[in-house]
Amino acid sequence: MRRIKKAISLSLTIVILLSCFTFNSFTVKATGWLDYAQDMVLGTAYTDAVTTADYAELGHGLYWSVYKFDMPANGNLRIYVESAVNNYFNYPLQTWNPGYYIINADTPDTVTWYDKNASIYNEKYSSSRGVYYGSTEIALSKGTYFFCLKDSLRTDQYQFTLSFVEPSVNVSSITLNKSALQLVIGESYNLTAKVIPTNATDSTIKWSSSKKSVATVKNGVITAVSSGKATITATSSDGVVKATCNVTVAKPFVKVSSLTLSSKSVTLEVGESKSITPAVSPDDATNPTITWSSSDKSVAEFKNGKVVAKKAGTAVITAQSSNKSIKKTCKVTVTKKVTNAQINKVKSSKVVISSVTGGKKKFSLKIQKEIPNASGYEILYKKGSSWKSVKTTTKTTAVTNLAKGKYQVKIRAYINKKNKTYFGKWSDVKQVAVK
């Protein structure tokens, strides 16, 4: 660093005083004293002390080091400062404190910039090195400038580096390849972000999740953790620009593998109902919904978890899994409504045989009259010692495929109530010959 004499001759003093360097409302009288500036190279560290300053301002006890540098293009100037004491981070508006000034060579009487607030350096202290240090950046146009360092003390050591920094290009927008996404637990998806402009100084994306228990994100890769909803946010490095993707996480789809019904067949009277419970496996099937249908809704239908009997007859109730791959059925028999009085009436009744006529390998039996409310009739016949049974629902019945011989025949009425049969009294036994 070029040294300027600290002691100033009387003639030089007069010249300097006439030059009248003052700082007032961002204006300096720089004529003459900037000639003491020494050339510097951006990016190079300079170390000196005020005792070797380039210029002494008499009357105020201020010492100046002046450097001249060129900004190669429009951009930022980074100022890095370190010193054994923190005097160089104080307010320069107080004339007895140190400070930094930048003056444009084209307008030497006007201060382009000064460090009006020490906090701009983000001052820190290194105990291992025993120095205070900090830095700041300012925007400057291409051109020639003077960097001026002022201090009122004679013993302070300082070091500084001026560096050219390309101007920052901020991110203006972020676009994600998905604005909404559906995943199942355990799945992953690589969300990509398009940053505009492409020449942004820092195109780094910060990723975050509104609910990490549902979905996490790392470098754009989303991982589904549990069922629910979360918002994935991509944020520019300066925190200004954001883009989001709404993520819905569901459980993995599990097919129904088996279906069983609590009843395979039921017998009901008209007006009655019976619950039928389906059992679906596995228990964690994604869609365990069962669809019900009836082969004849006029006889029976499935409603609100029950089979409802509507009229006498038969119907098949079908249960079907949601994917229609599994079906199970329940046969429904609907009978007329039977009262205890009707049962007792049939039980006490006795059928009267009006005729039994034998024929070739058969006989025909005719009853005198039907028994009211009877469900049907049971005929017993035998040629030897064992009775054989046949049922009928009509007044006249033919029993066929018989061997030749003499048979004994009798008949009785019966009535069904659900799954139970009640019988009336036997008729008198009749004899018939089969040819």
Do 430 and 353 contact (CB within 8 A), yes or no? Answer: yes
- d(CA 308, CA 274) in angstroms, rounded, equals 7
- pLDDT greater at residue 69 or residue 26: 69
Assess whether 210 and 277 both reside in one domain. no
For the chain, the domain total comes to 4
* Residue 3 lies inside a defined structural domain of this protein: no
**Average pLDDT for 268-287:** 92
3-state secondary structure 123-158: CEEECCCCEEEEEEEEEECCEEEEEEEEECCCCCEE
Tell me which residue range forms the domain holding 184.
Answer: 173-250
pLDDT of 417 reads 86
Assess whether 89 and 145 both reside in one domain. yes
Domain boundary among 288, 307, 335: 335
Assess whether 232 and 318 both reside in one domain. no
* Residue 411 lies inside a defined structural domain of this protein: yes
* Alpha-carbon separation of residue 123 from 48, 128, 414 (angstroms): 20, 16, 109
Domain boundary among 227, 250, 273: 250
Give the model confidence (pLDDT) of 207-244 as tens digits: 999 999 999 999 999 999 999 999 999 999 999 999 99
**pTM recorded for the entire structure:** 0.45
Assess whether 205 and 268 both reside in one domain. no
Query: Could you tell me what percent of the chain has a pLDDT over 70?
Result: 83
For residue 15, give the nearest of 2, 33, 27 by alpha carbon.
Answer: 33
- d(CA 8, CA 26) in angstroms, rounded, equals 27
CA 268 to chain centre: 50
Count of residues in the chain: 435
**Average pLDDT for 4-26:** 34
Give the model confidence (pLDDT) of 326-360 as tens digits: 999 999 999 888 999 999 999 999 999 999 999 99
Asked whether residue 51 carries a pLDDT value surpassing 60, the answer given is no
Residue labelled with tokens 């700041």 = 136
